[in-house]
Chains A and B, each alone.
Chain A
């Protein structure tokens, strides 16, 4: 049993059995993380560079911890404070790092497709930790893992993705993954933040009324308003966005069922999600973060395990 791909560039390239394998392996790693010594020697002989061209808290710490728990050697690279500011290109930077004998590259970049470009030009294994507005595969995997943990399966479940769909790599990866695993997806939010032809292109339902989306779903994945990626006015103010599309405790209490609420972080409290929702019992936000380490351990372990056969 092994993955059908050499790199993890996006969920789009994965088959359902790859996703199943990653989630099943992550379950075993989650058990490792409950032990007194939370470390296994699996990747003793592997060196990994974390290449972060864009800011990150959770993903970077989570990957680094996953690598350390697997006994891999790690190097951290952040664009600020490096020779990138002197004009070194992405390919030159990576080739210089690889000449120091690095096996895997975990990469985040603000340009969509940057990891795909690297995978074509360098021999190392690439793991995409978020590229522009394209994909964030490990986030989708840990979201799926968290849903599966709560609901037992993804098959036939209804997931609403609410918020800034247009600029969200988390949304795209989640849509691919959930559909491959047999779940139904609705995207909800203001029309200006939902791509026009998403229903035709990806086969998701579109809903402009957040209350209706909440009533329909088993799990609501609420996304952050990505102010840093918006160069035009897509809604009038954060306050107004909150009133029309933010998820409040009152909305959840008015439903005739109990749903789970997720958020990939960082949270804008009082914008897309109210504090009392984020901190409620229905919220899986911190469990998502916890599961992130186990899921990333599974991804790194499975990719590293097929180095020899892949090369």
Chain B
């Protein structure tokens, strides 16, 4: 088991992602943040927290998206849905999708399908904490990357939250 990011590095990485988003999107009038259920929410909550810390006066649109009903692998096993909560219109907005690990790209494909059912966004960007560069199965690339890693198909990447959050490869 290899530690890719320790607690300090993880915090630094998420702060950097928040700053990159501020650089491109401030004052967020036409931007919506959407965290991917279930694990992307940990990342998106932190990013939103840091942005609010720096700019407490701005109004942020922040929603949660569950993609269970849009998966392409219903036949290979059942997934239990969690809450989708997008309490604003995404029509014509710039959407920032936030997830923890980008791997095959299938989750993001499903997320884009799901998003389009809520309206027609002007643009969709992707933020991931960890990008597993190899073994992508669809032409999907992130716009903001916390940490890019080389891994093989048998390995797993996990973000462990809790007292001392860190990211491991095993």
Decide whether A and B assemble into one complex: yes
Contact A21 B80 (CB under 8 A): yes
Q: A residues within 8 A CB of B85? A: 31
Question: Of B70, B75, B76, B82, which contacts A40 at CB under 8 A?
Answer: B70
Asked if B2 is at the interface of the complex by the 8 Å CB criterion, the answer is no
Contact B74 A35 (CB under 8 A): no
Stretch of B15-23, B113-121, B123-131 with 4 or more beta carbons under 8 angstroms from chain A: B113-121
Q: A residues within 8 A CB of B84? A: 28, 31-32
Q: A residues within 8 A CB of B118? A: 35-37
Which of A21, A41, A308 counts the most B-chain CB atoms under 10 A from its CB? Answer: A41
Q: Looking across the interface, which residue of chain A has its beta carbon closest to that of B71?
A: A42
Contact B74 A31 (CB under 8 A): no
Chain B 64-106 near chain A by CB (<8 Å), digits 1 or 0: 0010111100111111111111000000000000000000000
Q: A residues within 8 A CB of B76? A: 308
Contact B80 A42 (CB under 8 A): no
Q: Looking across the interface, which residue of chain B has its beta carbon closest to that of A41?
A: B70
Give bound CA distance, A293 to B81, whole Å: 17
Q: A residues within 8 A CB of B113? A: 41
* Nearest CB of chain A from residue B56's CB, rounded to whole Å: 30
Question: Of B66, B69, B83, which contacts A41 at CB under 8 A?
Answer: B69
Question: Of B66, B70, B74, B83, which contacts A305 at CB under 8 A?
Answer: B74
Which of B81, B82, B85 counts the most A-chain CB atoms under 10 A from its CB? Answer: B81
* Nearest CB of chain B from residue A44's CB, rounded to whole Å: 9
Contact B66 A28 (CB under 8 A): yes
Contact B74 A42 (CB under 8 A): yes
Q: A residues within 8 A CB of B80? A: 1, 21, 24-25
Q: Looking across the interface, which residue of chain B has its beta carbon closest to that of A303?
A: B78
Contact A42 B75 (CB under 8 A): no
Give bound CA distance, A21 to B80, whole Å: 8
Known: A40-B70, A42-B69. Contact between A28 and B119, CB under 8 A? no
Which residues of chain A from 8 to 59 have a CB within 8 Å of any chain B CB? 21, 24-25, 28, 31-32, 35-37, 39-43, 45
Q: What class of interface size applies to chain A in its complex with B? A: 20 to 34
Give bound CA distance, A307 to B73, whole Å: 12
Known: A40-B69, A41-B69, A41-B70. Contact between A308 and B117, CB under 8 A? no
Q: A residues within 8 A CB of B82? A: 28
Q: B residues within 8 A CB of A1? A: 78, 80
Give bound CA distance, A302 to B68, whole Å: 12
Known: A32-B69, A42-B69, A42-B74. Contact between A37 and B117, CB under 8 A? yes
* Nearest CB of chain B from residue A125's CB, rounded to whole Å: 13
Q: Looking across the interface, which residue of chain A has its beta carbon closest to that of B119?
A: A36
Q: A residues within 8 A CB of B68? A: 28
Contact B70 A302 (CB under 8 A): no
Give bound CA distance, A51 to B114, whole Å: 32
Which of B74, B77, B80 counts the most A-chain CB atoms under 10 A from its CB? Answer: B74
Contact B78 A35 (CB under 8 A): no
Q: Name 29 interchain pairs, CB-CB below 8 A, sorted by A.
A: A1-B80, A2-B78, A25-B80, A25-B81, A28-B66, A28-B68, A28-B69, A28-B81, A28-B82, A28-B83, A28-B84, A32-B84, A35-B117, A36-B117, A36-B118, A36-B119, A40-B114, A41-B113, A42-B69, A42-B70, A42-B71, A42-B74, A43-B74, A301-B69, A302-B78, A306-B78, A307-B75, A308-B76, A309-B77
10 A-B pairs closest in CB distance: A40-B69, A305-B78, A28-B81, A37-B117, A42-B69, A2-B78, A1-B80, A308-B75, A305-B74, A31-B84
B interface list, Cβ under 8 A from A: 66, 68-71, 74-85, 113-114, 117-119
A interface list, Cβ under 8 A from B: 1-2, 21, 24-25, 28, 31-32, 35-37, 39-43, 45, 301-302, 304-309
Q: A28-B66, A40-B117, A305-B77 are in contact. List 15 more A-B contacts (CB 8 A).
A: A24-B80, A28-B82, A32-B69, A35-B117, A36-B119, A40-B70, A41-B69, A42-B70, A43-B74, A45-B75, A305-B78, A307-B75, A308-B75, A308-B76, A309-B77
